[in-house]
C-alpha cells in the first residue's frame, strides 16, 4: 500500500511539473508578505490531532473532523503556519477533541512544499493529551493566481505515550488560497 501511494505521488508530481514549466509567471503566491489559507483532506487512518477535513462512516459509527490552517510568508517561499480543528464521533459517550498545529512550510523551487510542525489535541476528560511532530512533503500545482492543489505525504511521530500509533503515515490533498 505504501509503495502504491508513493508511486501515485511520484506520477502526479512528474505530470504536473510539465504543466508548471509553461507558466512561470504565476504571480508570486509564495512571495514574502503573502498569506495562505489551506484545507486538507486525508486518506487512510486519521490520528487524534487532526486539523484537516475528514468524515468516515463504518458499521454505523461516523467520525468527523473539521479544520483549517493559515500561514504568512515571512520570506520568499517560507510560511509560518497555524491550524485549528474540531472532531468527534456519533457513538454515544465518544470524546470530542480540539486540535492545534504550529509550524512552518517551505516551498522548494516555489512548488515542492516541505513542512515541519508540532501538532496535538485537547481531548475531553483525557488524563494526558496526544502530541506529535509532523513532517510532510508534496507538490504544489498552481491552478490559478490564487489557488493551489497540493497532494503530499505526511508522517506524525508520537511525542508521548498517549498519542495513538495509528494514522501516523497519511496521504493528504491540500487546497490552498494564496493572497
Q: What is the pLDDT, as a whole number, of residue 71? A: 97
Give the model confidence (pLDDT) of 110-169 as tens digits: 899 999 999 988 888 777 888 889 999 999 999 988 999 999 999 988 888 755 655 588
Q: Output the nine-digit C-alpha cell for 50.
A: 487532526
Task: Specify the pLDDT at position 157.
Answer: 87
When pLDDT is averaged across residues 44-53 and rounded to a whole number, the result is: 72
As a whole number, mean pLDDT of residues 8-34 equals: 56
- Taking the model in full, what pTM does it have? 0.77
What pLDDT score does 32 carry? 94
Task: Check residues 3 and 177 and name the one with the higher pLDDT.
Answer: 177
Higher-pLDDT residue of 3 and 74 is 74
Grid cell for residue 19: 504543466
Tell me which range, 27-31, 52-56, 97-101, is most confidently predicted by mean pLDDT. Answer: 97-101
Predicted local confidence at residue 165, as pLDDT: 57
Q: Using 50, 70 and 90 to split pLDDT, how confident is the model at 20? A: very low
CA angle, 86 as apex, 158 and 53 as ends, to 5°?
85
Contact 85, 51 (CB under 8 A): yes
Q: What does the pLDDT read at residue 38?
A: 95
Percent of the residues in the chain that have a pLDDT greater than 90, as a whole number: 43
Asked if pLDDT for residue 8 goes beyond 90, the answer is no
Which fold does the domain 2-178 belong to in CATH?
Answer: Porin (2.40.160)
Using CA atoms, how far apart are residues 163 and 125, in angstroms rounded to an integer?
A: 15
Q: Residue 163: its pLDDT value, please?
A: 57
Residue 166's pLDDT is what?
57
DSSP result, 34-49: -EEEEEEEEES---SS
Amino acid at each position: 500500500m505504501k509503495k502504491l501511494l508513493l508511486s501515485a505521488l511520484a506520477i502526479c508530481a512528474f505530470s504536473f511539473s510539465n504543466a508548471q514549466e509553461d507558466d512561470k509567471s504565476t504571480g508570486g503566491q509564495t512571495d514574502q508578505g503573502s498569506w495562505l489559507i489551506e484545507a486538507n483532506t486525508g486518506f487512510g487512518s486519521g490520528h487524534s490531532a487532526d486539523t484537516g477535513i475528514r468524515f468516515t462512516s463504518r458499521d454505523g459509527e461516523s467520525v468527523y473532523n473539521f479544520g483549517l490552517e493559515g500561514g504568512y510568508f515571512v520570506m520568499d517561499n517560507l510560511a509560518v503556519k497555524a491550524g485549528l480543528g474540531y472532531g468527534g464521533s456519533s457513538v454515544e459517550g465518544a470524546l470530542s477533541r480540539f486540535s492545534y498545529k504550529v509550524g512552518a512550510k517551505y516551498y522548494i523551487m516555489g512548488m515542492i512544499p516541505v513542512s515541519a510542525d508540532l501538532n496535538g489535541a485537547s481531548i475531553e476528560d483525557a488524563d494526558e493529551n496526544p502530541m506529535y511532530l509532523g513532517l510532510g512533503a508534496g507538490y504544489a500545482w498552481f491552478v490559478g493566481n490564487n489557488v493551489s492543489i497540493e497532494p503530499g505525504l505526511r508522517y506524525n511521530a508520537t511525542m508521548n505515550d498517549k498519542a495513538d500509533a495509528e494514522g501516523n503515515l497519511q496521504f493528504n490533498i491540500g487546497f490552498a488560497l494564496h493572497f
